[in-house]
Chain A
Amino acid sequence: MTALPWQDGVYAALKKAGVRQVGYVPDAGHSRLIEQAHADPEVTAVVLTTEEEGIAMAAGCHLGGSRAVLLMQSSGVGNCINMLSLPIHCRMPLLTLVTMRGEWGEFNPWQVPMGSATGPVLSAAGVHIRRAERADEVVDMVAASAQLAFDSAIPVAVLLSQRMIGAKVWVK
């Protein structure tokens, strides 16, 4: 998959913020970050079976004095809700980058319910939300969100809009 111009900037921002663990459930919109994490000897990339594993992994990472990011798609947010009580109650940082589905040129109607609920559900669970609509704002937004999460020990989700990522092409 061809890298979008902002993706390398996002990886650099994560590295600069001290992120050394990357947990992910694959998504096409994160594929460049996943490749970079696996290729980086300073970073440990962990493929998860389900997104809430990444919430718990980030908690363990914090206990050990390091920093993690969780990469997932909006459909995975619903899997995380109870596990979010871990960083919230324990006053731990959480940084997650969420690629949005079901909102811009979506072909698959099954993505729409969770895509529509992603923001409200995260807010209800106590997660701070930032939303990147344009490629020229996403790198700064990730950097600022990482700072907010790690320096204030709070959970922060950056939603990457489907318009910015590009809707999945089903019929080529």
Chain B
Amino acid sequence: MSNIPNLLPTNSLLDRRQVVATLLRDTAETPGGELLVVTGLGSTTYDAGAAGDRPLNFYLWGAMGGALMIGLGLAIARPERRVLVITGDGEMLMGMGALATVAAARRPNLSIAVLDNGQFGETGHQSSHTSLGADLAAMARACGWAQGEIVTDMPGVEALRLRLRNEVLFATVRISPDEVPRFLPPRDGANLTTRFRAALGVPPS
């Protein structure tokens, strides 16, 4: 596989844990109340847990390709709150139609950050499409997102923190493909669902 060219910019050395910890700093500092967070199957779930487990993080441990659409259903259900989806390039690629669906749905309270290491890191670091020529931010714009941007440095990530909570934004964050220590947040889906709804004040059924 080493003969496959890697087209990722080589200046992407951002540490994924530092990126997510920055994006999730001071989640109370969000219009409408505590930020609602959905993370995608794989490393972004671990990153968000490592940044500090909270009931308003909904971690996907499966359902690959579903993160952005879960965010949409949540954003429609709670228009007064802000929803942030954090996922990886592989998870986004699997649910790419959602870029068009979410753009067409025109919700003002939903943004997404895609941590892009150009690899399927969980499964042996096979190159993903984003290191083989696909540009997710450009795809988002082509699908109708008003803003689809690529961020490659920590000042940019720092600026994203509040932009993702105040604007409608698709952001690719180029991160280093280096492995980080494993962190495993809770994975029982029924419990994650119950605690999320309780934290939002949804009455138990």
B13-30 vs A, CB cutoff 8 Å, 1 = contact: the mask equals 000000000000000000
A78-93 vs B, CB cutoff 8 Å, 1 = contact: the mask equals 0000110110011110
Residue A55 at the chain B interface, CB threshold 8 Å: yes
Residue A41 at the chain B interface, CB threshold 8 Å: no
B73-103 vs A, CB cutoff 8 Å, 1 = contact: the mask equals 1111110000000000000000101101100
A49-79 vs B, CB cutoff 8 Å, 1 = contact: the mask equals 1101111111111111110100000000000
Which of B67, B69, B74 has the most chain A CB within a 10 Å cutoff?
B69
Contact B193 A60 (CB under 8 A): no
**A56, A64, A86, A92: the one within 8 Å of B78 (CB):** A64
Contact A60 B189 (CB under 8 A): no
Residues of B within 8 A of A58 (CB): 73
**A44, A49, A66, A91: the one within 8 Å of B193 (CB):** A91
Residues of A within 8 A of B73 (CB): 21, 56-64, 68
**A21, A53, A55, A66: the one within 8 Å of B97 (CB):** A53
Contact B190 A57 (CB under 8 A): no
Main secondary structure of the interface of B (DSSP, over half): helix
Contact B76 A63 (CB under 8 A): no
Residue A153 at the chain B interface, CB threshold 8 Å: yes
- Contact size class for B? 35 or more
- Contact size class for A? 35 or more
Given contacts A46-B101, A65-B78, contact A57 B72 (CB under 8 A): yes
- Specify the chain A residue showing the minimal Cβ separation from B202: A65
Known A46-B72, A50-B97; 6 more pairs at CB < 8 Å: A21-B73, A61-B76, A63-B197, A64-B74, A64-B202, A68-B73
List B residues at the A interface (Cβ < 8 Å). 36, 38, 58, 60, 62-78, 95, 97-98, 100-101, 104-105, 189-190, 192-193, 196-197, 200-203, 205
List A residues at the B interface (Cβ < 8 Å). 20-21, 44, 46-50, 52-66, 68, 82-83, 85-86, 89-92, 150-151, 153
Q: Which 6 A-B pairs have the closest CB atoms?
A: A60-B73, A64-B77, A49-B97, A56-B66, A90-B189, A56-B69
